[in-house]
Chains A and B, each alone.
Chain A
Amino acid sequence: MLEKKVTIINNAGLHTRPAATIVKIAAQFDSEFYILKDELNINGKSIIGVMTLAAAKGSELALSFDGPDEEKMAEAILEYFNKGFDEL
């Protein structure tokens, strides 16, 4: 299992469009993926779950990846977070 911390860096935060993209990226991998914020642990493959996260610019999230392709999955997801959901 891999654990990573990320910070939301785009102005608009984690709104509907990036939420959908994160779920789409996660769906390409077999590993499990969870997002932890304020004691809410959300399955990152569930769009309705990710949509419950109110994560504005500057929020910190803890991500966990667990499974056969966890490293590749973490890399893909982190890349998307680190480029500010293509909104920088």
Chain B
Amino acid sequence: MIDIEKQNVYKGIPAAPGIKIASAFLFKKEIETVTDEKIVNVDEAVENFNDALAKSKKELAKVFSLAVDKLGVKRAALFEAQIMILDDPVLINNIIVRIKTEKKNPEFIVNDEISKYQDIMTLSHEQYMRERSQDIEDIKNRIIRNIRKKKWKSRLSTGEVILVSSSLTPADTVLFSRMDVTGYITNFGGLTSHAAIVARSLNVPAIVGLHEATEIIQNSDIVIIDGFNGIVIVNPDEEQLLHYQKKLKKLEAVDLELAKLKDLPAITLDGRKIDILANLDLNEEFESIIQNGGEGIGLMRTEQIFQEYDSFPSEDEQTEVYSNYSQKLYPLPLTIRAFDIGGDKVLPVDVQEPNPMLGWRGIRFLLDNEELFRTQIRAVLKSSVHKNIKFMIPMVSSMREIELTKELISKCMDELKSEKIPFDEHLELGIMIEVPSAALMIRDFAEYVDFFSIGTNDLIQYMLAVDRGNDIVTNQYQEFHPAIIRTLNFIISEAKKTNTKVSLCGEMAADYKAIPLLVGLGLDSISVSASVIPHAKEIIRALNYSEISGFVKTCLTCKTEKEIHDILDKYYSDNFSESSNEFYSN
């Protein structure tokens, strides 16, 4: 047991599992300060500026090729634009003319000239323009640093580090992905933030939403990060260090055990088989899904794949991506979720809504942008020739949405037929159950769809009226609220009555404590992050279905979340071996 009351112990949101002990590296955007200085040798200053441009170009070319490697050509476009700025005839000419006429140090002129453009961007009401201004800040600092002939110091010291930062942008992530980062701690963000998703895909522990992380933690502090429990210990004392070193050793042993589970099915002691599928967010994750023994992809978030794409990908571009995954995965299933745009998942569509979570998102957005939706449907169909693709619709709340979607799909099918393009005529269509109204109408919807997938993140937020991204009400976001458990039970049993398959793909499925409960409620499959697959298999293989379906009945009568927690805790301490129990509890 770790004493949470100790002063150096902090609690955040556990975003990716694992335990690491390493020194901290504080990542802050370096800001170069410049002062206005008179110079004598103008030619030297201009030469210096030109050298700095050349050097910056070289550096960015490296980042660009790395980005192409890790993210693909399209998503790397951002860096290409940065390189073009270094060749911008208007900008470069203005700077050189000003150095010559004003006889001032080049870094001052560079800062002044580029800041003018940033000011225009910052004045814009559009969020993306403000972000663009940040991108420009990067390039400005790069030029200034190179004028000062500062070496491009490797941002990270050698050896393993735990990265501490306020938040992480996609560009930062590209750079860190090749470095020895063994853990992430951020001030902001929830389970669905970029840092959390990247950490899970890279299989390193992460804790997000630790509000003052960058204040509490200093560079080179020794930090223990416990991604199972969301615990961060800064400069641990002897006792804490010993406790976690012991845990780590056992964890390594367990990891070896877990690796052996790879090819074993997730089957309970009394023979009930649960399909363990994976959620796919990033390209890089794909390999680890297979390595960790995933039995297919239960949720491919297409909006994530195209997030830094800057625009909506064309039919051909999408077809290429989907076909590629379908082939690599064959014969395992690939469940593609239609673009889930809106809410907290934003693509460059400039709409300001007072309440985006209750606004234009998911299927609502898609049906209003029929061309875009059609493009995706056609791409999915064209990729379905191997017959292992399923298609899933987010945020459904009424029958009309299903009818319109089906009409559109059959129209697309007719088109493809007349174009003589092959596709899977029996492509399975499913809907996400994440709005309470959909949960109540399971039996009616079942007539029209082939499967359901419960999205717990949104379902919980809509049922409890708690914004999961709002720190102030985080405590009210209760996964084990009795109403949630009862609703899950209703969804699953109603689906069974109509013989419709039902899976669950929210963060809840990655919660070790929830797994026995979910299996006990009768779920046939769950979809989790790749790194969670072995843990989930281990837990399921130790369960006794007949026994847990009994205690789940008790959970359904509970009146508070605490009662449910107590039952689950007791179950764990009674049933799990010392070794695994130790990681899952703190």
> Which chain A residues have a beta carbon within 8 Å of chain B's beta carbons?
10-13, 15-20, 23, 40, 43, 45-49, 51-52, 54, 56-57, 85-88
Contact = CB atoms under 8 A, between A and B. Distances in A.
Interface stretch (B83-91, B263-271, B431-439, B452-460): B83-91
A46 B312 contact: no
Contacts of B117: 48-49, 51-52
A49 B349 contact: no
Contacts of A54: 121, 124-126, 129
A45 B90 contact: yes
Contacts of B347: 12
Given A17-B311, A23-B84, A52 B121 contact: yes
Interface string B223-265: 0000000000000000000000000000000000000000000
Leading 6 A-B pairs by shortest Cβ distance: A46-B90, A12-B311, A52-B120, A56-B350, A47-B84, A12-B348
B311 A20 contact: no
B462 to A, nearest CB: 27
Contacts of A57: 350
Interface string B56-94: 000000000000000000000110110011001111000
B581 interface: no
B369 interface: yes
14 contacts: A11-B311, A11-B372, A12-B312, A16-B77, A16-B78, A19-B81, A23-B84, A40-B120, A46-B89, A48-B90, A48-B91, A51-B132, A54-B124, A54-B126
Contacts of A87: 311-312, 314
A9 to B, nearest CB: 11
B80 A15 contact: no
Contacts of B77: 16-17, 20
B132 A11 contact: no
Nearest to B78: A16
B136 interface: yes
Given A46-B91, A51-B81, A54-B129, A15 B311 contact: yes
Contacts of A40: 120
Main secondary structure of the interface of B (DSSP, over half): helix
B139 to A, nearest CB: 9
Given A13-B348, A88-B371, 8 more contacts: A11-B312, A12-B348, A16-B78, A16-B81, A16-B310, A17-B77, A17-B310, A45-B89
Nearest to B126: A54
A45 to B, nearest CB: 6
Contacts of B350: 13, 56-57
Contact of B85 (A12, A43, A48): A48
B78 A46 contact: no
B56 to A, nearest CB: 14
Interface in B368-409: 369, 371-372
B114 interface: yes
A48 B312 contact: no
A56 to B, nearest CB: 4
A51 B132 CA distance: 8
A39 to B, nearest CB: 11
A88 B136 CA distance: 28
A66 to B, nearest CB: 15
Given A52-B121, A54-B124, A15 B136 contact: no
A87 B310 CA distance: 11
A10 B126 CA distance: 17
Contacts of A20: 77, 80-81, 84
Contacts of A13: 348, 350
Interface centre among B125, B310, B347 (most CB of A within 10 A): B310
B372 A48 contact: no
B136 A48 contact: yes
Contacts of A46: 88-91
A73 B110 CA distance: 31
B308 to A, nearest CB: 10
A43 B89 CA distance: 10
Interface string B121-136: 1001110110010001
A10 B311 contact: yes
Nearest to A47: B84
Contacts of B78: 16
Contacts of B314: 86-87
Contacts of B311: 10-12, 15, 17-18, 85, 87
Nearest to B349: A11
A51 B310 contact: no
Contacts of B372: 11
A47 B81 contact: yes
Nearest to A52: B120
